[in-house]
Amino acid sequence: MALPLEIKDLEVRAGTRTLLKVGDLSAPAGALIGIRGPSGAGKSTFLHALSGLIEVRGRLCWGEVDLARLRPERRTAFRAHNMGLIFQDFLLFEELSPQANAGLSGLFRTRHDRAPIATRAAEGLARLGVPQGNRTVGSFSGGERQRVAIARALATDPGLLLADEPTASLDRRAADALIEDLTGLLRAGGKTLIAVSHDAHLLERLDRVLTIEDGKVTDDTGVQAA
Amino acid sequence: MRDSWDSLPVLAQDLIIAGALLLPLLVIGGILLRGFRPLPLVRALMWRFRWANLLFVLLIAVSTGMGIGLIAQERGLRTGSAQAAEKFDLVVTAPGSELTMMLAAVFLQPSAVPLLDGAAYDRIANHPQVQIAAPIAFGDSHDGAPVVGTIAEFVTYLSDGQIEGRIFARSGEAVVGAAIDLRIGDRFTPAHGRGSGADAEAHDGVGIEVVGRMARSGSPWDRAILIPVETVWEVHGLANGHPFEDGDRIGPPFTPELFPGTPAVIVHAGELWANYALRSEFTVAGETMAFFPGTVLADLYRVMGDVRQAMSVMSIVTQVLVAASVLLGLFILTRLFQRQLAMLRALGAPRRFVMAVVWGYGVTLLVAGTMLGLAFGYAAALVLSRIVTHRTDVLVTATITWAEVNLALGFLSAMSVLSLVPALVVLTRPVVENLRQ
Ligand SMILES: Nc1ncnc2c1ncn2[C@@H]1O[C@H](COP(=O)(O)OP(=O)(O)OP(=O)(O)O)[C@@H](O)[C@H]1O
Ligand SMILES: [Mg+2]
């Protein structure tokens, strides 16, 4: 189930340095949001904050849950049940088949969750047109790998998908095809996407684009594509 | 508590010890793995680092195998040599080194040994407590096998009467050991001396006929050819211990004046308790020396035990070093996998799962190495035993007992606890840092 986002006075610090400061920000469930900005601006940091991977101050609520007030292991559990993550360099297990990679979460989830995860992984792979069979992903192209990573992120049926430069390692054609399939899949499932990207082709397909500069949200084109 | 433990069968005790040794491993495994399925990822790690893994497994296997093989081999040698010497209660020789005399008289190792004269033999043979006083006369050989002169009674005693064919009944007949390549009815001419210096022509014209074969005993006597001691003397042109009037009679009693001498006399007492008295009685300064081969062996085992101990310490040190390098290797290899492991955490995997993967990987290597090590140890002991048996004819059997298995299991268990260290270290760095690489 997708959850609405509500942020108030969010602050991320490293030692004495403030990496990120976001005053007010909210988004409805099911919004597709892009984040852009220069290198070192704090985009990845924002994504890490949203996924509960780092400590934050202020309020960072997904629905009723304020990640700023949860202990790390509780945030991990929240992530396991509500979020899918996608990385620029996929981070797959090269030695495993696409199905094993996509169903990875089943390895540490309860017995009860395992079968549905495996089923959704297989469905996701099929929908994204990933080559089937026992080939390991070590021999896959970049585009194919990122599709496996997306199937992995969606196998737990999360409401939120967080992506850091999902198309940056792909060539134009592969990136465009992926953007098409990804946004289609997310809209069909009513899922929320927050994607850090420089890819104009991706950003123009989203509902809203935030610009982060020097640790602050400097632009919010929330109305642009709505 | 103590009593109920002692009342358990040995196997049950060993199994309990094995279980107790494995307990840490099982407990950690149970806690870490419960509810998880880390196996596919462990397999991925195994495959990713296959050459390094193979090296680790071999290192563990060789270091474990060395220790085990050493212990097994030493035990095999002890039991084998003790068994080979079992029939030799008391040996009487001219004064000298007990070890040399024992090796010559009991293990039939070639050596030049001074002789006992007829008077000395007579005194031993006529002692009321002595049941068998067997002269042992060696020096000749056939086809590399020692030809030993003795008396029929001793051959019967040595083989427990298990002789195919019959015992020698007159001079010129022979009973062969089980490993001798001669059949009953075959004839041979003994060579003078043994080994490469043997002179095949010295006894030309002498023909000895094989009339019997002893059952296998697992001692050097399996490769010996036993003939009447009279034959040995006759072949060397000496008196044969009997006056002419006695005709072709062989065996005791011998006439002291016609007794050319024997390097050793094997004494078997009528009663076991008499042996100590006999030993002191037959130990006469400057004339004769009496000793128990069992005692000489025990001294030898003590030395062997010390050597074993020193080697054991070295093998344990080796094992610890191997353990340390394997742990270090695990640590380095998991570093290479750190981004994937961080990704697992980002996907929502609990810490315990990541630990289960890293620990499971380490323990898989350890278990594989230890199992292979047990096999190596057994194989090494087997090969060494073969070599020793072949060289000495002392039947050495290689066995792996629970002591060795438990040693290996203890090592495995200790290492499995230490494998928690790389697993924990992986978790110390923040997930985000690892994701950023
Ligand atoms: N733990 C930390 N301690 C100190 N500084 C940090 C820490 N983590 C990140 N930073 C700094 O915060 C800033 C923002 O980093 P971040 O990775 O969010 O940038 P980004 O916008 O994703 O850049 P890029 O487009 O290059 O990926 C950088 O200057 C980075 O060096
Ligand atoms: Mg970044």
Which carries the bigger pLDDT value, residue A82 or residue B251? Answer: A82
Q: Identify the H or E element spanning B313.
A: helix B293-336
Query: Which among A54, A87, A105 has CB closest to B348?
Result: A105
Which carries the bigger pLDDT value, residue B390 or residue A35? Answer: A35
A88 touches B at CB < 8 Å: no
pLDDT surpassing 50 at residue B282: yes
Q: Is A161 left (phi over 0), alpha (psi -120 to 50) or beta?
A: beta
- Domain A30-41+80-220: which topology? Rossmann fold (3.40.50)
Q: Could you report how far apart the first and last alpha carbons of chain A are, in Å?
A: 21
- pLDDT for res B435: 86
ipTM over 0.95: no
**Chain B residues with CB-CB distance to A108 below 8 A:** 36-37, 344, 348-350, 353
**Chain A residues with CB-CB distance to B48 below 8 A:** 94-95
B170 touches A at CB < 8 Å: no
User: By CA distance, what is A83's nearest residue in B?
Assistant: B347
B427 touches A at CB < 8 Å: no
Structure tokens at A191: 């899922």
3-class secondary structure per residue, B346-376: HCCCCHHHHHHHHHHHHHHHHHHHHHHHHHH
Lowest mean pLDDT among A126-140, A146-160, B152-166, B345-359: A126-140
Strands (E), B96-166: 130-142, 145-150, 163-165
CA angle centred on A46, ends A45 and A52, rounded to 5°: 90
pLDDT in tens, B184-236: 999 999 988 887 777 777 777 788 999 999 998 888 999 899 999 999 998 88
Q: What is the DSSP string of B35-103?
A: T---HHHHHHHHHHTHHHHHHHHHHHHHHHHHHHHHHHHHHHHHHHHHHHTTT--EEEESSS-HHHHHH
Would you place residue A225 in the very low, low, confident or very high pLDDT band (cuts 50, 70, 90)?
Answer: very low
pLDDT (average), residues B282-311: 89
Q: What is the pairing mode between strands A17-27 and A5-14?
A: antiparallel
Q: Note the pTM of the prediction, 2 decimals.
A: 0.82
B400-405 long-range contacts, CB within 8 A, separation 24+:
B400/B68, B400/B72, B400/B374, B401/B72, B401/B75, B402/B11, B402/B14, B402/B15, B402/B17, B402/B18, B403/B71, B404/B68, B404/B71, B404/B72, B404/B374, B404/B377, B405/B14, B405/B18, B405/B374
Exposure b/e, B209-230, CB count within 10 A at least 16 = b: bbbbbbeebbbbbbbbbbbbbb
Query: Which among B36, B430, B435 has CB closest to A107?
Result: B36
Contact A92, A101 (CB under 8 A): yes
CB contact under 8 A, B348 and A110: no
pLDDT (average), residues A171-182: 92
A219 touches B at CB < 8 Å: no
* Residue to mutate (ligand 1; options A13, A18, A36, A43; most atoms within 8 A of CB): A43
Q: Is B394 left (phi over 0), alpha (psi -120 to 50) or beta?
A: beta
Per this entry, what is the length of chain A?
226
Q: Whose CA is nearest to atom 31 of ligand 1?
A: A40
pLDDT surpassing 50 at residue B426: yes
User: By CA distance, what is A100's nearest residue in B?
Assistant: B40
Q: Looking at residue A90, what DSSP letter applies?
A: -
pLDDT (average), residues B332-349: 90
Contact A154, A181 (CB under 8 A): no
pLDDT surpassing 50 at residue A224: no
CB contact under 8 A, A54 and B349: no
* Residue to mutate (ligand 1; options A45, A48, A87; most atoms within 8 A of CB): A45
* Ligand minimally distant from the alpha carbon of residue A42: 1
User: By CA distance, what is A106's nearest residue in B?
Assistant: B37
* Contacts (Cβ under 8 Å, ≥6 apart) of B131: B268, B269, B270
Mean pLDDT, all residues of chain B = 89
CB contact under 8 A, A81 and B345: no
Domain boundaries, chain A: 30-41+80-220
3-class secondary structure per residue, A24-36: EEEECCCCEEEEE
pLDDT surpassing 90 at residue B356: yes
pLDDT in tens, B221-280: 998 999 999 999 988 888 888 888 887 888 888 888 988 989 999 999 888 888 899 999
- pLDDT for res A222: 61
**Chain B residues with CB-CB distance to A105 below 8 A:** 347-349
* Residue to mutate (ligand 1; options A19, A47, A214; most atoms within 8 A of CB): A19
Q: Is A50 in the pocket of ligand 1 (CB under 6 A)?
A: no
Would you place residue A56 in the very low, low, confident or very high pLDDT band (cuts 50, 70, 90)?
Answer: very high
Would you place residue B178 in the very low, low, confident or very high pLDDT band (cuts 50, 70, 90)?
Answer: very high
B428 touches A at CB < 8 Å: no
B 340-379 residues with CB < 8 A to A: 340, 343-351, 353
Exposure b/e, B269-279, CB count within 10 A at least 16 = b: beeeebbeebb
Contact B33, B360 (CB under 8 A): yes
User: By CA distance, what is B340's nearest residue in A?
Assistant: A91
Query: Which among A53, A78, A152 has CB closest to B432?
Result: A53
- Report the SS3 class of residue A225: coil
Q: Is A39 in the pocket of ligand 1 (CB under 6 A)?
A: yes
CA angle centred on B82, ends B75 and B190, rounded to 5°: 120
Mean pLDDT, all residues of chain A = 92
Domain boundaries, chain B: 9-83+300-436, 90-291
Separation CA A94–CA B108 (nearest Å): 66
Contact B66, B381 (CB under 8 A): no
Distance of CA B422 to the CA centre of its chain: 41
A85 touches B at CB < 8 Å: yes
Q: What is the pairing mode between strands A5-14 and A57-62?
A: antiparallel
What radius of gyration do chain B's Cα atoms show?
32
pLDDT in tens, B99-128: 999 999 999 888 888 889 989 999 999 999
Q: Looking at residue B245, what DSSP letter applies?
A: G
User: By CA distance, what is A78's nearest residue in B?
Assistant: B348
* Contacts (Cβ under 8 Å, ≥6 apart) of B367: B412
Q: Is A41 in the pocket of ligand 1 (CB under 6 A)?
A: yes
Other Cβ atoms closer than 10 A to B334: 22
Which carries the bigger pLDDT value, residue B26 or residue A1? Answer: B26
Q: Could you report how far apart the first and last alpha carbons of chain B are, in Å?
A: 57
* Ligand minimally distant from the alpha carbon of residue A36: 1
A115 touches B at CB < 8 Å: no
**Chain B residues with CB-CB distance to A152 below 8 A:** 347
